[in-house]
Chain A
Amino acid sequence: MSHHIVEVKHLQHIYADGTVALQDVNFTIHHGESVAIIGANGAGKSTLLLHLNGYLTPTAGEIRIGDFPLTKKTLPEIRRTVGMVFQDADDQLFMPTVFDDVAFGPFNLGLPVDEVKQRVKDVLEQVGAAHLQEKPPYHLSGGEKKRVAIATVLSMSPDILVMDEPTSGLDPYARRQLLGLLRDFRHTRIFTSHDLDMVLELCERTIVLHRGTVKADGPTLEIFGDEALLAECRLEKPLSMQGCPVCGRGK
């Protein structure tokens, strides 16, 4: 299933003001993997995500999604393959109703109306938001918005799901609901997050970015066990690995 591979080779990105955001970034993500990209603020996570969907053009290096290199010509196919869920759901939801928002992508794929309606129904049921279909997105709660934002991407049947900070701004219950939803997906999943407990639950592999370079890439448990690495990259162990804050047990 080589068509689901994400391959990043010697990726470099320098912004117009001279800021080096990414420097010689290399990794390969295989079909069905769930990978977290973590790092401190300004480590280059968002810049990297924007490259995976072709919003930014690399200063140097190459990105391949499946069998295609990411070029202007392959962009439409790659954008269908890679479903991107933005950090702020308000940026993702811009149509008058939830239905229109979820249908936006399938319509752009040129699907007939009946097929679009069926897809919208199916994905809204999948994310548990079928009852919100005719509601305007701005009347939804944070958790509902996030689930609908995911539905807008799922409706395009992507092979790879890329999510920027999926749990940010969610209350514990909505976060738990979202984790359950994301765990059930069989897509190749790439997350960026500061919620390291979420990373621990959902991702078997973690890539640590530090000042635009890949500092570590390996099994999540191993990465979180390396305290020196975490400290160097301005990170901390997930709370669930830190032991009891009252009695200190488990430390």
Chain B
Amino acid sequence: MRSIDGAVLDLKRLDLLATGDSAIHRLDARAKVLTTLVFIVTVVSFNRYEFTALFPFFIYPVVIASLGNLPAGYIVRKISMVVPFAFVVGMLNPLFDRELFFHLGPFAVTGGWISCASIIIRTVLTVGAAFILVAVTGFLSVCQALERLGTPRTFTVQLLFLYRYIFVLTEEGARASRARELRSCGRKGLGLASFGSLIGHLLIRTWLRAERIHMAMLARGFTGEFHSRQVSGFGWGELFYLVGWSTLFVTLRMENAAQWLGRLVMGLLS
């Protein structure tokens, strides 16, 4: 099934982007992880009706993606995949929260619509930041950074295995799905009934394959620790990166830069 295969390759591309060699790639992973954490915390700390103050935060993903030479189309496509989920989370807000905020022409904009839009924007920002973090750092290095920052190794290794398992599961899923599709002659096959056994087989096959991969890891001396060829330390550059971005995020959290800019432009025009 091309769509599943394509999704796997797309995800693997994220790992490949991390092998780049830009200034952002070379930064110690801990600085990038902490900065992303500060970014996410400040973005989600806004009240639920906040909307305009979120827009200036787009500066972070845009700057990092461009300095890291990430393909914009690919990142936007990745992020757009989660927007429907965010919409599902917020879609009931307009029904329950009917407090009128303002009129936009003939349309009455209620608190529900504002909070729904706020959820979507926050999702785009936070998921985007996480995607970009992996794309300029690599999932392996992110986990290593988490470990060096004090996260228990058991947790980080589980996280890495879970990440690897996504590939194993989707690859096996693609094979099973292709086999089913080819023998169902463009129809639905045996319908839902066939999916029960297909999913059962999938679980067993992925289990066995994961076991074989684990064997291959053990054969090469794996003892629960992943290593990376990138040698980096937390130097002045990392400190500036972390403090600089964090200061900007906190400032944007305290001051609504969008409104401030709007007032400035209006003042210049009047």
Question: Chain A: residues with CB nearer than 8 A to chain B?
Answer: 50, 53, 55, 76, 79-80, 83-84, 86, 88, 91-92, 94, 96-97, 99-100, 103-105, 107-109, 113, 116-117, 134, 136, 138, 152-153, 156
Contacts of A96 in B (CB 8 A): 12, 15-16, 18-19, 138, 140
Q: Which residue of A lies closest to B224 (CB)?
A: A108
Query: In the complex the two chains form, is B229's CB within 8 Å of A113's CB?
Result: yes
Alpha-carbon separation in the docked complex, A197 to B219 (Å): 28
Does more than half of chain B's interface fall in helix, strand or loop, or is it mixed? helix
Contacts of B225 in A (CB 8 A): 108
B222 contacts chain A at the CB level, 8 A cutoff: yes
Contacts of B108 in A (CB 8 A): none
Q: Which residue of A lies closest to B17 (CB)?
A: A96
- Known contacts A91-B209, A100-B229; A138/B12 CB under 8 A: yes
CB of A104 to closest CB in B, whole Å: 5
Query: In the complex the two chains form, is A136's CB within 8 Å of B218's CB?
Result: no
Q: Which of B9, B16, B213, B231 is in CB contact (< 8 Å) with A94?
A: B213
CB of A94 to closest CB in B, whole Å: 5
Query: In the complex the two chains form, is B218's CB within 8 Å of A79's CB?
Result: yes
Q: Which residue of A lies closest to B8 (CB)?
A: A138
B212 contacts chain A at the CB level, 8 A cutoff: yes
Q: Which residue of A lies closest to B18 (CB)?
A: A96
CB of A115 to closest CB in B, whole Å: 12
Q: Which residue of B lies closest to A77 (CB)?
A: B221
Query: In the complex the two chains form, is B217's CB within 8 Å of A94's CB?
Result: yes
CB of A40 to closest CB in B, whole Å: 22
Q: Which of A55, A116, A156 is in CB contact (< 8 Å) with B221?
A: A156
Annotate B8-40 by CB proximity to A: 1 below 8 A, 0 otherwise: 010010011011000000000000000000000
Contacts of B213 in A (CB 8 A): 91, 94
Alpha-carbon separation in the docked complex, A84 to B216 (Å): 8
Query: In the complex the two chains form, is A80's CB within 8 Å of B221's CB?
Result: yes
CB of B17 to closest CB in A, whole Å: 10
Alpha-carbon separation in the docked complex, A156 to B216 (Å): 13
CB of B25 to closest CB in A, whole Å: 13
B148 contacts chain A at the CB level, 8 A cutoff: no
B223 contacts chain A at the CB level, 8 A cutoff: yes
Contacts of A79 in B (CB 8 A): 218-221
Alpha-carbon separation in the docked complex, A33 to B164 (Å): 37
B227 contacts chain A at the CB level, 8 A cutoff: yes
Alpha-carbon separation in the docked complex, A221 to B52 (Å): 82
Contacts of A100 in B (CB 8 A): 229
Alpha-carbon separation in the docked complex, A174 to B159 (Å): 37
Query: In the complex the two chains form, is B231's CB within 8 Å of A113's CB?
Result: yes
Q: List 21 A-B contacts (CB under 8 A).
A: A53-B219, A76-B221, A83-B219, A91-B209, A91-B212, A94-B164, A94-B213, A94-B216, A96-B18, A96-B138, A96-B140, A97-B19, A104-B217, A104-B220, A107-B227, A108-B222, A108-B227, A113-B231, A136-B12, A138-B9, A156-B220
Q: Which of B16, B209, B229 is in CB contact (< 8 Å) with A103?
A: B229
Alpha-carbon separation in the docked complex, A113 to B233 (Å): 14
B162 contacts chain A at the CB level, 8 A cutoff: no
Alpha-carbon separation in the docked complex, A152 to B219 (Å): 10
Alpha-carbon separation in the docked complex, A187 to B146 (Å): 40
Alpha-carbon separation in the docked complex, A166 to B96 (Å): 64
Contacts of A84 in B (CB 8 A): 216, 219
